[in-house]
Chains A and B, each alone.
Chain A
């Protein structure tokens, strides 16, 4: 079973397909769950503490907004841990404030720089595109360690 980083990290479709084909999706939910379940001072609403932007310094410089560094403290360790990645290029749902936008750019950059197996594709908007979308993801995941044959 390979650990596959999904972008957007909150994607239902990617998370489902990766786990359906026998791998472990790495996304926002796992990072948030880890923080929610870690005993400590409750820091609503996101369980992000002032320590997190400091951890984000590993991925972004100090002059970068703390929102980017805080988000990178969630995504950065997952990108380092990932064995592969799937990026959806036209993910409108990842739209957000400048912190989100810059984090998204940085996440995609770090994934490409790691030189792990990476699949980039667009969301399907027809049945035919849906067939190609699922087939491409299945073929990609089958080639990863522990993947079922395509």
Chain B
């Protein structure tokens, strides 16, 4: 427990000190498990607190160390490792499902997006693929884009 926490001026949670950063690391790779990633992460940054989870890792530590670790972790599988910030440190009893029971708050959001990350991985791979250049140039269609008369007549002729 830090001195500040012991003095009652800060909550007594590990990794909560100012300047400490926590991040989620999600792995969606057939070639890399969370356990592999945790071992490699420990080798890269021994000073960082690393928690292995079912989806990847939760890493906590000084900002500079975390930035370095994130840059190294991404190299293992750049298109299938996804990283985002986390507000609470790992194991915080206000968030940890070990204390609350049921799914961790935020789980459903991650579950929802993890169904889509394989398409994002395809997009990231395509950035390096010259064969996909035509698709990269295409703009996403906007919902409020009006149907052109030419397209309407095409639809009528097709039907």
Contacts and interface: CB of A to CB of B under 8 A. Distances in A.
Interface in B112-133: 112-114, 116-124, 126-127, 132
B47 interface: no
Contacts of B120: 13, 17, 124, 130, 133-134
Contact of A131 (B95, B109, B136): B136
B87 A32 contact: yes
Contacts, number: 133
A125 B126 CA distance: 16
Interface stretch (A33-41, A55-63, A77-85, A103-111): A33-41
Nearest to B13: A36
State which size class the interface on A falls in.
35 or more
B85 A27 contact: yes
Interface in A83-105: 89, 92-93
A16 B119 contact: no
Contacts of A112: none
Contacts of A35: 87
A36 B82 contact: no
B106 interface: yes
State which size class the interface on B falls in.
35 or more
Contacts of A89: 143
A66 interface: no
A53 interface: no
B64 interface: no
B113 A29 contact: no
B16 interface: yes
A40 B120 CA distance: 40
B40 interface: no
Nearest to A134: B123
A134 B79 CA distance: 11
Question: What are the 3 closest A-B residue pairs judged by CB atoms, nearest first?
Answer: A134-B123, A32-B87, A130-B119
Interface of B: 4, 9-11, 13, 16-18, 20-22, 24, 26, 74, 82-89, 92, 94-95, 106, 108-110, 112-114, 116-124, 126-127, 132, 135-140, 142-143
Given A10-B106, A15-B83, A33-B85, 14 more contacts: A13-B82, A16-B84, A32-B88, A33-B88, A38-B18, A40-B9, A45-B95, A93-B109, A124-B116, A130-B116, A130-B120, A132-B123, A132-B139, A135-B126
